[in-house]
Structure 1
Amino acid sequence: MKVLLKLIQLEIRKNKLLGLLKGVVIANLAILAFMILVTYIDTSENGGEFKTYADMFEGVYIFTKAAFIIFASVVLSKLVIDEYKNNTITLLFMYPISRKKLMTAKIIIVFLFTVVSIFVSDILLNAILVGINSFTHVIPGSLDLNSIPSELIRISTDAVYAAGIGLIPLFIGMRKKSVPATIVTAVLVVSLISSGFGNFRMGNQVGVSLALALVGAGIAYLSIRNIEQKDIA
């Protein structure tokens, strides 16, 4: 475990992943601006896009999930796909470190990045929007404080599902050794889970989210399992 934690720290430093925080902030600002537009500015006689707090929370989650699943593909590309594409992974594998541990560290970074980004962004954006609504009163009624614990549990669970889904592009990325292919796959996955009609969304179905998350976990496992024997050329 100590070796794995050390590898995670080294990967974060080597790839300067803390610099991605700027991208996270920009993504959150873009989502916030869009939510303010459709909730508090783009109103009509029938009100804005969201009629209840539950609708608004759902809207925030849809956008944060989509944004950070795509963001996860960018991190995957930086940590894994680029290494294979540029053949720098060969140098890493020459060190007296287990290939499995090295790849596991990379996957853990992507998974935790996605979970934390979605969880924190959801809470922060919802809190800001609720605060704005306390002055504008565009969304009628008051927030039921008793619903907050269950909402936090839902956000946590959905963030884990989304992080698993975010690993699916690894399959195409590893086969093609292509950064664009990895990111395009993420966009297609987001399009799939965001598709639907009315209030129905594929990604809102627990069974669908769980199944796709397990697919992502399976892809990550297979990517790690045979790494010791896999030809990296």
Structure 2
Amino acid sequence: MKALLKLISLEIRKNKLKSLLTGAAIVNLAILAFMILVIFIDQSESEGTFNTYSDVFEGLFVFVKAAYLIFASVIISKLIIDEYKNNTITLLFMYPISRKKLMTAKIMIVFIFTFVSIIVSSIVIGAILLGINYFVNIVQGELTLHLITTELIKTVASAFYAAGIALIPLYFGMKKKSVPATIVSAVLVTSLISGGFDQARLGNLAAVSISLGLLGAGIAFLAIRNIEHKDIA
């Protein structure tokens, strides 16, 4: 475990991934601005979408999840696909480091970043929206401790599945050794599970989220298992 943590730390420093925090901050500001705009516009409609706190939390999570699923594909491209495309992975494989451990470290960075970012972003942006609503009182209803607890549990569970789903583009990126294929596949998956507010979303179905999360985990497992024999040319 110590060796894996060291590899993760080295990958973060080598790829200057601390800059992702700046990107995440920009993403969160964009989501916050969009949510404020949508909520205010929604109030002018005869039948609003965000009538309750539950509606607001659900809408927020949809935006956060969609943003970080695509963000994860960018990280996959930077950590893995680019190195295969430019053949710099060959140099890495010359070091006395297990290929499986190296790939595991890269995939763990994507999974952990996506998981933590979705949770932190949902909580921070949600808290800001609640603070704004305290003064303008747009969203009606009572905010109870039970509702907050329920939403937090749901967010953590959904973030875990989403982090698994975020690994699905790895298959398309590795197959084509293509950054565009990686990102486009992420956009397609995101559109599939996050489309629409007024109709049932696939992402709201637990069975679908679990299945896609397991699919992403399976793709990651195969990428790690086959790395010792995979042609890097």
Common topology (TM > 0.5): yes
**Aligned twin of 1:188:** 188
1:134 is displaced (CA, Å) by 0.8
Runs of 4+ in 1 over 6 A off after TM superposition: none
In structure 2, stretches of 5+ residues that fail to align are none
**Aligned twin of 1:54:** 54
**Aligned twin of 1:112:** 112
Q: Residue 52 of structure 2 contacts residue 139 of structure 2 at CA under 8 Å; is this kept in 1? A: yes
1:42 is displaced (CA, Å) by 4.9
Distance 1:153 1:137 in 2: 26
Distance 2:77 2:193 in 1: 21
**Aligned twin of 1:89:** 89
**Aligned twin of 1:150:** 150
Residue 174 and residue 45 in structure 1: after superposition, are their counterparts in 2 closer, same or farther (change >3 A)?
Answer: closer
Distance 2:108 2:193 in 1: 23
Distance 2:196 2:36 in 1: 23
3-state secondary structure, aligned to 2:46: coil
1:197 is displaced (CA, Å) by 6.8
3-state secondary structure, aligned to 2:18: helix
Q: Which amino acid aligns with 1:85?
A: K
1:48 is displaced (CA, Å) by 4.9
Deviates more, 1:38-47 or 1:132-141: 38-47
The residue correspondences of 1:192-211 to structure 2 (distance < 5 A) are: 192-195=192-195, 198-211=198-211
1:145 is displaced (CA, Å) by 1.5
Distance 2:62 2:77 in 1: 23
Q: Which amino acid aligns with 2:149?
A: P
Deviates more, 1:197-206 or 1:28-37: 197-206
Residue 45 and residue 161 in structure 1: after superposition, are their counterparts in 2 closer, same or farther (change >3 A)?
Answer: closer
Distance 1:189 1:211 in 2: 13
1:133 is displaced (CA, Å) by 0.6
Q: 1:90-142 CA deviation, whole Å, 9 max, x = no partner?
A: 00000000000000000000000000110000001111111111111111122
With structure 1 as the length reference, what TM-score do the two structures score?
A: 0.97
**Aligned twin of 2:31:** 31
Q: 1:143-200 CA deviation, whole Å, 9 max, x = no partner?
A: 1122222211110000011100000000000010000110000000001102357241
Identity value in percent: 68
In structure 1, stretches of 5+ residues that fail to align are none
**Aligned twin of 1:137:** 137
Distance 1:226 1:24 in 2: 32
Q: Residue 196 of structure 1 contacts residue 202 of structure 1 at CA under 8 Å; is this kept in 2? A: no
**Aligned twin of 1:177:** 177
Distance 1:9 1:197 in 2: 39
Q: Which amino acid aligns with 1:113?
A: F
With structure 2 as the length reference, what TM-score do the two structures score?
A: 0.97
Distance 1:92 1:196 in 2: 43
